[in-house]
Amino acid sequence: MIPFLGTTAGAACVFFIKKELNHLVQKSLLGFAAGVMVAASVWSLLIPAMEMSDQLERLAFLPAAVGFIAGIFFLLLLDRWIPHLHPATLESEGPKSSLKRSTMLILAVTIHNIPEGISGGAVFAGVLAGNTKVTLAGAFALAIGIAIQNLPEGFIVSLPVRDDHGRKKAFIYGMLSGLVEPVAGGITVLLAAYITPALPFLLAFAAGAMIYVVVEELIPESAEGAHSNVGTLGFAFGFVVMMILDVALG
């Protein structure tokens, strides 16, 4: 629920901010979100996944590597099969569709909220299963980090909808884009007892899916056009914030 609340709070900004986001601000926010997701993928997901497989000794990387690649291909397939519209560039991807712009915007954000929900659920599942490589504080650190990067994401996806449908619908659509996170996370937690043996794979799977979103969408959009260094600075700040959260709390 914590990442979902972050998205909801971001979407609520449409009630208070009248103008479009400054181009440089939007670049920095996209870069920030990318930095948070990369740091979360490394510290909260990939490293614990390899530590959980230390009984494999030199092959401890194997479940993490396989899960990571599987996560990449999972998002690649969703990207190809689901029509969607990127909020920052308003460019459509996936199969041709007659869906409304607002619907395609929601689908775009929903696609990369799925791995965020799975990652949060997988880490909490590890805590419930008594895995010593994952702590409750670390699980909350991941949830809080995702919520922080969801703040600008919720706002960015709501802005184009506001122009077409007004503030109230923009808020509702923005909020709904994050609903998949507690659903995906909740299902993962409910299956905790059954997925414990596959936990390293699942953590790495979520990391791969998140990295796909970063490389395919967030970084290109934050670096597009002039002043790409703003997106880079945002990335560095987001990376450091998530790193501090995970190391200090985890």
Per residue in 162-176, pLDDT tens? 777 788 888 888 888
* Residue 18 lies inside a defined structural domain of this protein: no
Q: Which residue, among 7, 52, 76, 48, has the nearest Cα to 215 in the 3D structure? A: 76
Q: Is residue 218 part of a domain?
A: yes
Instruction: Determine the pLDDT at residue 86.
Output: 67
The reported pLDDT for the residue numbered 232 is 92
Domain that holds residue 43: 1-12+23-249
Number of domains in the chain: 1
> Which residues in the chain come in under a pLDDT of 50?
none
Give the model's pLDDT for residue 250: 64
Residue 17 lies in a domain: no
Let me know if residue 50 belongs to a domain: yes
Q: What is the CA radius of gyration of the chain?
A: 17
Q: Extract the tokens encoding 195.
A: 């997925």
Establish if 151 belongs to a structural domain.
yes
Paired with 92 in beta bridges are 85
Q: Please indicate, yes or no, if residue 193 is contained in any of the structural domains.
A: yes
Confidence (pLDDT) at 4: 92
End-to-end distance of the chain based on CA atoms, in angstroms? 19
Token duo for residue 226:
């002039």
> What is the Cα–Cα distance from 83 to 130, expressed in whole angstroms?
40
Q: Are 11 and 152 in contact (CB under 8 A)?
A: no
19 C-beta neighbours (distance < 10 Å), count = 6
Residue 30 lies in a domain: yes
Which ranges of the chain does DSSP label H, i.e. alpha helix?
Answer: 2-11, 23-39, 47-52, 62-81, 101-128, 136-165, 167-177, 180-190, 192-195, 199-213, 219-223, 228-249
Q: What is the pLDDT of residue 217?
A: 83
C-alpha to C-alpha distance for 52 and 48, rounded to whole angstroms: 6
